[in-house]
Amino acid sequence: MGLELDSLFHPKSIAVAGASASPEKQGHNYFKNLLDSFHGKVYPINFRAEEVLGVPTYKSVRDIPENVDYVISAIPNLEILDLVDACIAKKARVLHLYTARFSETGFERETKLEQEVLRRARASGMRILGPNCMGLYYPREGIAWGNGFPKEVGKVGAISQSGGNGSEIITGGANRGLRFSKVISYGNALDLNEADLMEYLADDPETDIIGGYIEGVRVGPRFVRALRYATARKPVALLKGGRTQAGTHMVSSHTASLAGSREVWEAMCRQTGVINTNSMEELVDMLVAFSRMPPARGFNVLVGGGAGGKSVLSADECEEEGLRVEPIPADARQELTSRDPFFGSWVTNPVDGSIMGGSRLSPHEVVTLIASSPAYDVVINNITTGRPGGGATTRQSRTTQMIEHTAGIARNFSKPVALVLPDMIPEDEQMLQSTQEMRERCIKEGFAIFPSMSRAARAVRRLVGYHRWLAEAKEEATPKAAASGGRGPALH
Amino acid sequence: MGLELDSLFHPKSIAVAGASASPEKQGHNYFKNLLDSFHGKVYPINFRAEEVLGVPTYKSVRDIPENVDYVISAIPNLEILDLVDACIAKKARVLHLYTARFSETGFERETKLEQEVLRRARASGMRILGPNCMGLYYPREGIAWGNGFPKEVGKVGAISQSGGNGSEIITGGANRGLRFSKVISYGNALDLNEADLMEYLADDPETDIIGGYIEGVRVGPRFVRALRYATARKPVALLKGGRTQAGTHMVSSHTASLAGSREVWEAMCRQTGVINTNSMEELVDMLVAFSRMPPARGFNVLVGGGAGGKSVLSADECEEEGLRVEPIPADARQELTSRDPFFGSWVTNPVDGSIMGGSRLSPHEVVTLIASSPAYDVVINNITTGRPGGGATTRQSRTTQMIEHTAGIARNFSKPVALVLPDMIPEDEQMLQSTQEMRERCIKEGFAIFPSMSRAARAVRRLVGYHRWLAEAKEEATPKAAASGGRGPALH
C-alpha cells in the first residue's frame, strides 16, 4: 500500500542546495551528516563558495554531471522555482524543502509560490517533502538532519509536521533506549502528506511501532483508512497539535494546516485504535512502552521500591491513572508471614521498602514473592535514591541490586515491568557519572523507563488498553475474515 | 495563636539518643548536622560507644549533667518508655521520635506502646513530635535532618507527614531557588498535629508561604479553622496523600492516619482558599510561584521563546490549563508591522522566534513590544536550547540574551513572568556546567522556573486563582470587619 514511497527514501545520490561552511546554517548540518554517514554520492550546491568541508561545490543542481535521486533544499524561497526546474531536469525523484516561508506566512505571494512548486512537481512526477520541514532521518541509509541523532538502527518509525518535535521524539526517545527505523518531518504536507506517510510506515518491514505529531489532516477519509490499516499491523501513538483555539491559530501560521475539530480527532483515534496522547512526553512514553514492554492485558499493578510518603502517592497516582493497586492476595500474604510474622503481615502494596530494616526478608524478596502471584498483571518499580541516610556508594549498590532483582522478575515471571527513574539534574560530575551509569544499566537490561510514577502508570494503562482493543478487534474481525476467505487484515 | 509552639523550636540544648558513628544510620546524620551547625549544646547518647565523631557520649539522657530542652530519639521502639521518662526527668520540652514502628504497624502491642508514650508525655507537659518522622529542619537554628539541605534561610515554611516528601520539598525547592524558614516532618501526629503546626506557621513571622503534605486530618474542625486563619495571612498549598482506595490503605500502614474522603478534603480546600495540588511536583511548583512571582490577577498570557511545533503545543497546553493565549492586540500589531511589514504581520502569540531570521526585529524585541500591552497579565517564556543548527556557544549566548531580555520585561512592566527550563540530564561535563550556570542565572534573576509549559501554565492559573480568591474574600470581609470594629483577620 505505502511501499511505493520506499524507493524515494533509498537514493543513490543526494544533492544539498545551500550546503554551507557555516555550522550555524542547517544547510551545513545536512551536508556534513551526509558526508559522514551516507553511503551514496553527495553533492554540495553553493553558488558563492568554491568548496564546502573540502568538497568542490556545484553552482547549480544543473551542473551536476549525472542525474541525482534526492535533493535537499536549504536555499531562500525566492530561488525555489529555478531549483524545482533543475531537479526535474536532473530526474530527481524527490525534492525535500527545508526552505520555508510559503503558505504558512498567510501571504498571497508565498501561497501562490507554493502552489506553483506543486504544479511543476506534479507535472513531472517528482515528489515534494515539505516545504518548511527538517525532512528525513533514516539511520540505516546514513541520512540525518540533527547532529546528535543515533547512528544505530531500531524499529520505531515516526512522522512529524514539526521538525523540532521530530527531534524531540528522536533525542528524548534515544535517552530512554529507543532506536529508529525512520523519522520523517513533513511540514506543510504540500505533496507527501500524513496519509501517504502513515501507509508507508504501516507497510514498512523496518518499522514495528509508529508515532506521530500531526497539526492538520489534509486528506481526512484517506487518513482514517490509513490509520485502520496501520493499527491492524502495529501500535500507533499520535499527538495532535492545535487542540484549542490558540493552538489552531498557531497551527495555521506554523504549517498552514487546518487543525480541525478536537472532537473529530478524538473520535477518529477511538475508532481506529490509535493511542491519542496529550503532550510530547506522553507520546515518547508510549513509544517507550510499546518498544520495551511485552503485551500487558490487565490493570492490576504491583508497585515496588517507593518509601513512606512516596509509596502513598504512588498508590494514588496509579489508581488515578486507571490502574488497580490490588491488595496482596491471601496466599502470598501467608507465605510472607510464614517467613517473617512481623513485617510479613505489615507490608502492603505498594511495597514500602523503608519499613523492612531488621527483617529476615529483603524488600527485593518481598516484591519478587508478591510479583509471582497471578493476581498482578504488571509491575512498576521505583528506582529510589534511598533514604536521606546512607552514603552515595551504598545508595548506588542498593540501586544496582534493585535493577538486578527487577530484571529477574521480568525474566522469571514474563511480566511487563516498568521502571520509574526520575530526571534529576546531577549536582556534580560524580553524580552525573553515576546517574548516566544507572540509566544505561536500566536501558541495557531492556527496561521501559519513565521519569515519574504517574507517567509510568498512564503509559501502562494505555498499553493495556491497546492490547485489549487489539484482542477485541481481532475477535470481531475473525468471522468476517473467515467469510471473505480469511484474507485481509483484521481491522481493514 | 500558634506561637506557643515557637519556644519548642528554639532549644538551647539538644540530645540525640542513638547518635551513631555509622553514616548509614540516621542517628549519625542528626548528630553530625547539629555538631556542624547548631548554635547550642549537643549531647550524643550511646550506651555502646565511648565517643561519636570525637565527642564523648552519655549512656543515657539521665547522665547529662544539666537539663536538656530538646531530645531526638533514633533508638528502637522497645527502649522508648525509658527514654520518655529520662526526658521528663531532664525537663525536656519536646521529644522528637524518629523512632518508628508504633501504631502504623497496625499491631496491638505497638499501638498500646504509642499510647503509653502519649500518656506519660501529656502527664508531664512534654510535647511529642512524631513518632515515625524526620522532625525539624530549621536552618536559622542550624537544625537539619538531611545532609545536603541549604544552610541559608528563606521564607517558605512547610509541614509534612512524610519525611521523604519533606526532603523532596526541600531539595526540589532548593534546586529552583527556594529557601526555607522551617520544614517540620511530623509522622504519626501523636501529639503535635496538623492543626498545631498550621497555626504555628500562620503566625510565624519568619514564614511568608506555607506548603504541606498531609495524609490524614486528626482534628477536622480545628484544622479547618487553622486553614482559614492561615490563608487570610499567607498563601497555603497542600498535597493530600491517600486520595484513592489504595492510597487510603497505604496511609494507614505509613502513618496510621485515617485518610478521610477525597470530597471532604476538596471541599475544605475550596472553602478555605487552600491551593489543592495533586503531586509533589505541583506542590513545589506552587511554592515556587508564590515565592518568586508577584500577584497575577488575570488569565491572559503571552507565550514566548518556543519554536514551531513547540509553540503550537505551548498554546494548547496553556489553554487546556485554563489560561487564555490572546491574539496580539491591534495597537501592538500595528507597531510590529510598521517596523517590519513581513514578520510583523506574520508573527503571533505564542511568539515563534524561529521564523524571525532575517527580520529587522529580533524575537526578544517582538516579545518585549507585545509584553508591554496591558492586554497581557502574565508572560511565560520558554528557555529553548535553540534550533538543531548552531554550536553550543551560540545556543548559550542566545539563552543568556533571552534571560536578560525576560528580566527586562519583568522589571520594566512589573509583569509576573515564569520561565520554562526543562530538566535535562546533561550528556557530558561541559553540558552539566552550562546547564547549572543557566539554572543559577535564572534563579539569581529571581525567576520562577518550571520544567515544562504545562506545569508553568497550571501554576500560573492557580496563582491567579489564589489572588482573585483573596481579593474577593477581602472585599466580602470588609463590611463585617468594619462592623466588628475593624479587628480580626479578613477570613477568620
Which residues of chain A neighbour B163 with C-beta distances below 8 Å?
308-309, 388
Is residue B384 scored above 80 in pLDDT?
no
Q: How confident is the model over B382-408, as a mean pLDDT?
A: 70
Q: Is residue A282 part of a domain?
A: yes
Q: Per mean pLDDT, which range of A182-191, B106-115, B434-443 is the poorest?
A: B434-443
Res. B102 pLDDT band, cuts 50 70 90: very high
State the residue for C-alpha cell 496509579. Answer: A318
Q: Across chain B, which distance is largest between two alpha carbons, in Å?
A: 84
Q: Is residue B324 part of a domain?
A: yes
Q: How confident is the model over B449-477, as a mean pLDDT?
A: 93
Higher pLDDT: B328 or B398? It is: B328
A276 and A378 assigned to the same domain: no
Is residue B393 scored above 70 in pLDDT?
no
ipTM: 0.93
B54 and B72 assigned to the same domain: yes
A460 and A317 assigned to the same domain: yes
Q: How many domains does chain B have?
A: 3
Restricting to B residues 136-195, those with a Cβ less than 8 Å away from any Cβ of A are: 145-148, 160-165, 167, 175
A166 and A115 assigned to the same domain: no
Res. B16 pLDDT band, cuts 50 70 90: very high
Q: Which pLDDT value is given to residue B447?
A: 95
CATH number of the structural domain spanning residue A256: 3.40.50.261
Q: Is residue A481 part of a domain?
A: no
B268 and B332 assigned to the same domain: no
Q: How confident is the model over A136-165, as a mean pLDDT?
A: 97
Is residue A489 scored above 60 in pLDDT?
no
- CB-CB: which of A162, A318, A423 is closest to B246? A318
What stretch of H or E contains B420?
A: strand B417-420
Q: Is residue B476 part of a domain?
A: no
Q: What is the pLDDT of residues B124-160, one digit of tens each?
A: 999 999 999 999 999 999 999 999 999 999 999 999 9
- CB-CB: which of B146, B281, B326 is closest to A388? B146
Q: What is the pLDDT of residues A254-283, one digit of tens each?
A: 999 998 899 999 999 999 999 999 999 999
Mean pLDDT of chain B: 92
Domain ranges, residue A231:
141-292
CATH number of the structural domain spanning residue B90: 3.40.50.720
Q: Of B87, B104, B129, which residue constitutes the final position of a domain?
A: B129
Mean pLDDT of chain A: 92
Q: What is the 3-state secondary structure (H, E, C) of chain A?
A: CCHHHHHHHCCCEEEEECCCCCCCCHHHHHHHHHHHHCCCEEEEECCCCCEECCEECECCHHHCCCCCCEEEECCCHHHHHHHHHHHHHCCCCEEEECCCCCHHHCCHHHHHHHHHHHHHHHHHCCEEECCCCCEEEEHHHCECCCCCCCCCEEEEEEEECCHHHHHHHHHHHHCCCCCEEEEEECCCCCCCCHHHHHHHHHHCCCCCEEEEEECCCCCHHHHHHHHHHHHCCCCEEEEECCCCHHHHHHHHHHHCCCCCCHHHHHHHHHHHCCEEECCHHHHHHHHHHHHHCCCCCCCEEEEECECCHHHHHHHHHHHHCCCECCCCCHHHHHHHHHHCHHHHHHCCCCCEHHHCCCCCCCHHHHHHHHHCCCCCCEEEEECCCCCCCCCHHHHHHHHHHHHHHHHHHHHHCCCCEEEECCCCCCCCHHHHHHHHHHHHHHHHCCCEEECCHHHHHHHHHHHHHHHHHHHHHHHHHHHHHHHCCCCCCCCC
Is residue A410 scored above 80 in pLDDT?
yes
Is residue B390 scored above 60 in pLDDT?
no
Cβ of B250 and A352 within 8 Å?
yes
Q: Which pLDDT value is given to residue A461?
A: 98
B72 and B57 assigned to the same domain: yes
B326 and B424 assigned to the same domain: yes
Cβ of A348 and B250 within 8 Å?
yes
Q: Which pLDDT value is given to residue A243?
A: 96
Q: Of A268, A292, A316, which residue constitutes the final position of a domain?
A: A292
Residue A108 sits at the chain B interface (C-beta within 8 Å):
no
Cβ of A435 and B425 within 8 Å?
yes
Please state, in angstroms and as integers, the Cα–Cα distance from residue B388 to each residue in A119, A156, A168, A274, following that order.
31, 21, 10, 30
Is residue B441 scored above 70 in pLDDT?
yes
Q: Is residue A491 part of a domain?
A: no
Q: Is residue A487 part of a domain?
A: no
Higher pLDDT: B309 or B435? It is: B309
Q: Which pLDDT value is given to residue A403?
A: 87
| Chain B residue with the nearest C-alpha to that of A20 | B389
Q: What is the pLDDT of residues A200-216, one digit of tens each?
A: 999 999 999 999 999 99
A37 and A118 assigned to the same domain: yes
3 state DSSP class of B422: coil
B206 and B308 assigned to the same domain: no
Q: Which pLDDT value is given to residue A451?
A: 94
B273 and B305 assigned to the same domain: no
C-alpha cell at B131: 513518632
Q: Is residue B484 part of a domain?
A: no
Q: How confident is the model over A441-464, as a mean pLDDT?
A: 96
Q: How confident is the model over A241-248, as a mean pLDDT?
A: 95
Q: Which pLDDT value is given to residue B385?
A: 54
Is residue A487 scored above 50 in pLDDT?
no
| Chain B residue with the nearest C-alpha to that of A22 | B390
Which residues of chain B neighbour A249 with C-beta distances below 8 Å?
315, 327, 348
Restricting to A residues 378-417, those with a Cβ less than 8 Å away from any Cβ of B are: 387-391, 394
Higher pLDDT: A391 or B61? It is: B61
Q: Which pLDDT value is given to residue A391?
A: 55
A256 and A388 assigned to the same domain: no
A203 and A101 assigned to the same domain: no
Is residue B387 scored above 50 in pLDDT?
no
Q: Is residue B359 part of a domain?
A: yes
Is residue B280 scored above 50 in pLDDT?
yes
Q: Of A292, A316, A347, which residue constitutes the final position of a domain?
A: A292
| Chain B residue with the nearest C-alpha to that of A452 | B281
